[in-house]
């Protein structure tokens, strides 16, 4: 029998608890404090930590009750030990350590970003020998070469400044859209012309091939959008919001997909997994599917509820670690807000 793994997620504003056995998801419950942050136009760390403290026990109780399990059924506890907000991580890790200690079960402190890739095993089955994973959200943009999800993951590149979702949220703000702007831009973009404005594709010039082939940068693009909008306003013209949104979204998706497929080709990888909240983005999904198919790459994107932060992704990674019978974490570890 595969071990029953309890997964706990608390890196940002979502409190997630899930139970996974092997690659089977038994239950996944998420509470979010996003409504409390929206009026501030961004996540307020202290508000998030307090919300985790209040939400954790009810979320755990709901997960156990929905799965028809009790705490002592749990064989191992997994928790996201980083990267994320220190206060938020501290609440989830303190809870996880207490449970592991009280139940006398192994505890696995795992990496949240790798969890965004691991969750796909619950949806599309165990990974083949080698997969490429693109993890994109409001907090991360990372390209991972996965030889074994539990023991051998190498980061080929990441964003040098803003994450993709963060860039969308910032452009949303400058276009006067509500926070978080990502989904609003996506909606607008569907009615616009993606070729209307030629926004820059950062770090794609040949001179970056050696140093930043798989790195990303979106802050210059955000500035380019701001300048373009400002110039139009100064000229007294109305801003074609849908065209700006479509052209901006096209520039982001184009760079993400281009670099990721190049990495697949150069590393002989035939399976691509895309995860993280930004994988909800229409342009990214469509472009990755179409261009992936054209070059014979199997593109796996889990349903959106498993792409945003949740406990299932942490339980999935914890389960992969537990199945390989790796040594547990010592209970003395600290959380790592910038975990590589
Ligand atoms: O993974 P997630 O829920 O939270 C973290 O950042 O960890 O990702 C949320 C991010 C936000 O920046 C949000 O604006 C963006 O993903 N996002 C989108 C879309 N849906 C969510 N960005 C563009 N298009 C979307 N459809
Ligand atoms: Zn995340």
Q: Which fold has domain 4-119+310-323?
A: Nucleotidyltransferase; domain 5 (3.30.420)
C-alpha span between 109 and 96 (Å, rounded): 9
- Tell me, what's the pLDDT at 231? 98
Same fold across 4-119+310-323 and 127-303: yes
Best probe residue, ligand 1, of 278, 279, 280, 313 (max atoms within 8 Å of C-beta): 278
Which residues have CB under 8 Å from 297's CB, separation 6+?
261, 264, 269, 270, 271, 272
Confidence at residue 122, expressed as pLDDT on a 0 to 100 scale: 98
pLDDT at 304: 93
Instruction: Pick the residue whose CA is nearest to atom 18 on ligand 1.
Output: 182
Binding pocket residue ranges, ligand 1, CB within 6 Å:
12, 137-139, 165-166, 168-169, 180-183, 186, 276-278, 280-281, 308-309
Which 3-state string (H, E, C) describes 260-327? HHHHHHHCCCCEEEEECHHHHCHHHHHHHHHHHHHCCCEEECCCHHHCCCCHHHHHHHHHHHHHCCCC
Say how far apart CA 186 and CA 194 lie, in whole Å: 12
Report domain extents, the chain: 4-119+310-323, 127-303
Structure tokens at 225: 């959008």
Phi, psi of 20 (to 5 degrees): -130, 140
pLDDT tens for each residue of 5-39: 999 999 999 999 999 999 999 999 999 988 888 88
Residue with tokens 């991580």: 89
In the structure, what pLDDT confidence band is assigned to residue 316 with cuts at 50, 70 and 90?
Answer: very high
Task: Give pLDDT, residue 118.
Answer: 98
Q: pLDDT tens-digit profile of 219-232?
A: 999 999 999 999 99
Biggest distance spanned by C-alpha atoms of the chain: 69
Q: What residues have a C-beta under 5 A from ligand 2, the ion?
A: 137, 309
For residue 40, what pLDDT is reported?
85
Mean pLDDT is lowest, of 30-39, 249-258, 314-323, for 30-39
With residues binned 3-state (H G I as helix, E B as strand, rest as coil), the percentages for the chain, rounded to 5, are 50, 20, 35
Bind-site residues for substrate: 135-139, 169, 182, 186, 281
Average pLDDT over residues 185-206: 97
Task: For residues 143 and 110, give the distance between their C-alpha atoms in angstroms, rounded to a whole number.
Answer: 18
CA 126, chain centre distance (Å): 19
CB 122 within 8 A of CB 20: yes
The percentage of the chain sitting over the pLDDT mark of 70, rounded to a whole number, equals 100
For a ligand 1 pocket test, name from 166, 256, 277 the mutation site with the most ligand atoms within 8 angstroms of its C-beta.
Answer: 277
* Average pLDDT of the residues in 289-295: 98
Tell me how far apart the alpha carbons of residues 41 and 21 are, in angstroms, rounded to a whole number: 38
The yes or no reply on domain 127-303 and CATH 3.30.420.40 is: yes
Of 228, 219, 243, 202, nearest to 167 by C-alpha is: 219
Residue-wise pLDDT for 93-143, tens only, equals 999 999 999 999 999 999 999 999 999 999 999 999 999 999 999 999 999
Find the radius of gyration of the CA atoms of the chain.
20
Is the pLDDT at 43 greater than 90? The verdict is no
Predicted model pTM: 0.95
Report pLDDT for 41: 81
Which of 237, 5, 266, 287 lies closest to 119 in space, CA to CA? 5
pLDDT attached to residue 27: 98
Q: Are strands 131-136 and 107-111 parallel, antiparallel or unpaired?
A: unpaired
Burial 86-100 (b: 16+ CB within 10 A, else e): ebbbbbbbbbbbebb
Q: What is the pLDDT of residue 36?
A: 84
What is 45-84 written as a DSSP string? HHHHHHHHHHHHHHHHHHHHHHHT--GGG--EEEEEEESS
40 burial (CB, 10 Å; 0-12 / 13-18 / 19+) is exposed
Structure tokens at 49: 């930590």
Under the banding of pLDDT at 50, 70 and 90, the label for residue 275 is: very high
Q: How far is the CA of 207 from the centre of ligand 2 (A)?
A: 31
Ramachandran class of 105: left when φ > 0, alpha when ψ lies in -120 to 50, beta otherwise? beta
């Amino acid at each position: 029998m595969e071990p029953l793994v309890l997964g706990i997620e608390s890196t940002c504003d979502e409190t997630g608890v899930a139970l996974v056995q092997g690659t089977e998801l038994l239950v996944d419950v998420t509470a979010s404090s996003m409504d409390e942050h929206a009026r501030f136009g961004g996540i307020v760390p202290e508000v998030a930590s307090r919300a985790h403290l209040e939400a954790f026990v009810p979320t755990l109780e709901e997960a156990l009750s929905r799965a028809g399990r009790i705490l002592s059924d749990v064989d191992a506890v997994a928790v996201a030990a980083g990267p994320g907000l220190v206060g938020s991580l501290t609440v989830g890790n303190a809870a996880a350590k207490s449970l592991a200690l009280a139940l006398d079960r192994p505890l696995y402190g795992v990496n949240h970003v790798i969890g965004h890739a691991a969750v796909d095993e619950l949806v599309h089955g165990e990974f083949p020998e080698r997969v490429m994973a693109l993890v994109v959200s409001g907090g991360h943009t990372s390209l991972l070469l996965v030889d074994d999800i539990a023991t051998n993951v190498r980061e080929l590149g990441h964003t040098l400044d803003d994450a993709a979702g963060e860039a969308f949220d910032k452009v949303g703000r400058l276009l006067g859209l509500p926070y978080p702007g990502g989904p609003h831009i996506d909606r607008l973009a569907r009615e616009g012309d993606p070729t209307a404005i030629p926004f820059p594709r950062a770090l794609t010039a040949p001179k970056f091939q050696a140093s930043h082939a798989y790195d990303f940068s979106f802050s210059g693009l955000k500035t380019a959008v701001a300048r373009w909008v400002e110039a139009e306003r100064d000229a007294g013209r109305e801003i074609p919001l849908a065209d700006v949104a479509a052209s901006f979204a096209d520039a982001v998706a184009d760079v993400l997909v281009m670099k990721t497929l190049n990495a697949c080709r150069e590393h002989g990888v035939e399976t691509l997994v895309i995860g993280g909240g930004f994988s909800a983005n229409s342009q990214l999904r469509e472009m990755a599917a179409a261009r992936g198919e054209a070059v014979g790459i199997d593109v796996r994107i889990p349903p959106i509820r498993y792409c945003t932060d949740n406990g299932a992704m942490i339980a999935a990674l914890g389960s992969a670690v537990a199945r390989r019978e790796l040594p547990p974490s010592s209970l003395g570890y600290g959380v790592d807000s910038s975990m590589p």
